[in-house]
Amino acid sequence: MKAGFVGFWRNAYVSLASIFVLMVALFVIGATMFLNQLLNVSLDSLQSKVDINVYFVPTAPEDEIERVRNAVAALPDVLVVEYTTREEALQQYRERRQGDEISLQALEELDENPLGGNLSIQAKETSQYENIARFLDEQRAAAEPQTPVIDVINYDQNRDSIDTLTGVINATEKASFTVMAILLIASILITFNTIRLAIYTSREEIAIMRLVGASNMFIRGPFMLQGIMYGFIAGLLALLVFYPLLIWLGPRTELFFELNLFTYYVQNFGSIFGILVGIGVALGLTSSTLAVARYLRT
């Protein structure tokens, strides 16, 4: 422990260089995490704007509507089912047609409400809408011809939009995963090479310690501790850099992506701290161990 702290302070410039490079690597990893969160929120927002609607005939019995509603809600692919009654549908129609006097007058001349209730169905994934639509078609076909329940299922009208959105989501997720993997690998390689160069300056010291009979663990231990210190300090510095940056970015991301990154940072600080500091410590420790092992084999 003592040798590790002494070596850290004795080679202050080398230690600062290692910490700086590791901090940059952790900053890249953290930025990728925040970008991925923005991407997930954006995709969830897009998915929430897509649904399929089931329109019931005006004469459909309430118990049959409730049966269909419960059957759809029980599907594992379904996230939310919202039911709009005939009266609510009529009120919504009036609100949408406030400036259309002809439509409102025609509606007043009718003796009864011409609209039926409807269901708005959201799936957990956009790729699951086809299965839900197929199930609804089966429900419509199973109804008695003289007492129909389901009038229209608008999946066919929305099919192109749903398929396009599904393709965009899948492509975006694959691209995001690829970019994250590349950045993570680049960060690890840069960190490893930097710490290896830092230990290179101590190669003669390591050789002398081996000549006088020091064990491998006695030689490796101080460098492992230094690697842990590099990672821990770099993780703290990366978190400190994110703080003012996210204060500035937070309102802007909330405006465009409906997510305040600073609020997300504060609310999830514990997990973010654990991830960045943990990755920093793991990178520093692993890089130091592997770098020293090279000189222990010679």
Q: What tens digit of pLDDT does each residue of 89-103 get?
A: 888 877 877 777 777
Confidence check: pLDDT of 268 > 90: yes
DSSP secondary structure string, 51-70? -EEEEE-TT--HHHHHHHHH
CA-wise closest residue to 150 among 164, 161, 135: 135
- Is 120 strand, coil or helix? strand
Burial of 270 (0-12, 13-18, 19+ CB in 10 A): exposed
Q: What mean pLDDT comes out for the span 149-160?
A: 80
Q: Note the pLDDT of residue 201.
A: 74
Q: Average pLDDT of the chain?
A: 82
Q: Enumerate domains of the chain plus CATH numbers.
A: 2-46+166-297 (no CATH), 50-156 (3.30.70.3040)
Q: Could you give the CA distance from residue 57 to residue 40 in angstroms, rounded to a whole number?
A: 38
Q: Note the pLDDT of residue 248.
A: 92
Whole-prediction pTM: 0.68
Task: Give the long-range contacts of residues 151-155, CB within 8 A, separation 24 or more.
Answer: 151/55, 151/56, 151/57, 151/116, 152/53, 152/54, 152/55, 153/52, 153/53, 153/54, 153/55, 154/52, 154/53, 154/55, 155/52, 155/129, 155/130
Q: Note the pLDDT of residue 298.
A: 55
For residue range 190-199, list pLDDT tens digits in order. Answer: 777 777 777 7
Quick count: other Cβ atoms within 10 Å of Cβ 165?
Answer: 19
**What's 192's DSSP letter?**
H
91 vs 166 pLDDT, higher one: 91
Q: Note the pLDDT of residue 14.
A: 76
Tokens of 59: 């004469």
- The model's confidence at residue 238, banded by pLDDT at 50, 70 and 90, is very high
Q: Could you give the CA distance from residue 109 to residue 181 in angstroms, rounded to a whole number?
A: 65
Instruction: Name residue, tokens 């599904």.
Output: 166
Q: Note the pLDDT of residue 145.
A: 67
In the beta sheet, which residues pair with residue 55? 118, 152
Q: Under 8 Å CB-to-CB from 93, ≥6 apart: which residues?
A: 107, 115
